[in-house]
Amino acid sequence: MNDKISKLEQENLDYREYIESFAHEIKTPISALSLSFDNTKDKISKKELDKIDMYVDQILYYARSENPEKDYFIKELNLSDIIHKVLLKYRVYLLDEKISVQVNNLDKKIYTDEKWLIFIISQIIQNSIKYMNKKDKKIEIDTTENKDNIILSIKDNGCGIKSSDLVRVFEKGFTGSDRKKKISTGIGLYLAKKICNSLGLMISIQSIYKQQTTLTITFPKTKFNKFDA
């Protein structure tokens, strides 16, 4: 029995390593094509390729999330720099969808892993863009601070989430009862929650159906605080 369990564990490990290797390898031609589309100003092809890149990122981080601590590098970061990198990544979508972004009070020092935090915030921004349905589209990014924590909030005025769905948004595969299931995998926020738990961060969500949604990430001011999952 123990031999069978060990064999299954090894096969599972081999599979995850293959998926991670595949995702790394395929990102090289994606980057090359993206640069080519930038040069030719082919925005339609560029956006479709960016979607592929986003899904590959989800595959990569899903594979890594089983043992994320092996990939963490905790250091001091400026939250403003992180947000700038994410918004730059989605600038084409934000411009095409005519979404205004307001940022305030982001010059804050935090301690976490840069690569994983960018992925988490990217999932939130992706959702904000995906579920925008107003004429006047807005994303507001701000922080508040108390004695122990820095709290980042990302608010959009999109379609909102039904109260009955709100408790399930961090479940794997959950897409909601009416939130365009055909374009949603239900993986992004699940991974964001899972990674936040591993990093000792807290992520939460508030929403008013058909009005707005706010995601918050709480960063302890010390390097080693741990929130309960």
pLDDT band at 52 (very low <50, low <70, confident <90, very high): confident
Domain that holds residue 207: 74-220
Number of domains in the chain: 2
Q: Which of 118, 115, 191, 187 is nearest to 152 (CA)?
A: 118
Tokens of 139: 């994303």
Taking only the tens place, the pLDDT of each residue in 71-102 is: 788 899 999 999 999 999 998 889 989 999 99
Specify if 69 maps to a domain: no
> 168: domain CATH number?
3.30.565.10
Q: In this structure, is residue 228 part of a structural domain?
A: no
Q: Are residues 89 and 122 in the same domain?
A: yes
Residues 53 and 11 in one domain: yes
CB-CB neighbours of 176 under 10 Å = 18
- What pLDDT score does 4 carry? 63
Using the predicted structure, report yes or no on whether residue 11 has a pLDDT greater than 70: no
CB 74 within 8 A of CB 109: no
Do residues 14 and 89 share a domain?
no
Residues 17 and 120 in one domain: no
Task: State whether 128 and 154 are in the same domain.
Answer: yes
CATH number of the CATH domain containing 53: 1.10.287
The DSSP code for 152 is E
25 domain residue, yes or no: yes
Do 186 and 144 fall into the same domain? yes
In a domain, 225, yes or no: no
User: Looking at the structure, do residues 24 and 135 belong to the same domain, yes or no?
Assistant: no
Phi-psi sector, 225: left (phi>0), alpha (psi -120 to 50), beta:
beta
Task: Give the tens place of pLDDT for each residue, 124-142.
Answer: 999 999 888 888 999 999 9
Is there a domain that residue 226 lies in? no
Q: Both 54 and 135 in a single domain? A: no
Q: Are strands 212-220 and 149-156 parallel, antiparallel or unpaired?
A: antiparallel
